[in-house]
Amino acid sequence: MSTMTFKGYTARIEIDARDNILVGRLLGLRDVVGFHANDVAGLRAAFEEAVDDYIDACAKIGKTPEKPASGKLMLRVAPEVHSAALIAAQASGVSLNQWAGKVLQQAAAQR
């Protein structure tokens, strides 16, 4: 998967072989924000314009623009998983939040 990032927003980029264009969509939002172009330079410009338009449209209707993530994550896992993670964190000398953040960051980097 290819991505682009601008002003804290990330977009997934795909090829639409049927229409012979590049298409993108902002990730992590309930709102749907998409864009397209014929080449990478045009796609970058369309992406940045889509982000700016989204922010402007939210301002016009008095809505706070969504951000992809707040940094707060609530998980429900089996007690055994919770216990194992807590032990791993303590063995590493860090808090469970720090340990989980590092593990999630490593997993996300492998995508």
Residue-averaged pLDDT of the chain: 92
In which band, very low, low, confident or very high, does the pLDDT at 104 lie, cut at 50, 70 and 90? very high
Instruction: Tell me what pLDDT residue 111 has.
Output: 73
Structure tokens at 75: 């998980």
pTM for the full model?
0.68
Q: Domain ranges in the chain?
A: 2-60, 79-109
Query: What order of strands is seen across the sheet that includes strand 34-37?
Result: 2-6, 9-16, 21-26, 34-37
Looking at 12-26, 33-47, 70-84, which range is the least confident one? Answer: 70-84
Q: How far apart are CA 75 and CA 92, in angstroms?
A: 21
pLDDT tens string 20-48: 999 999 998 889 999 999 999 999 999 99
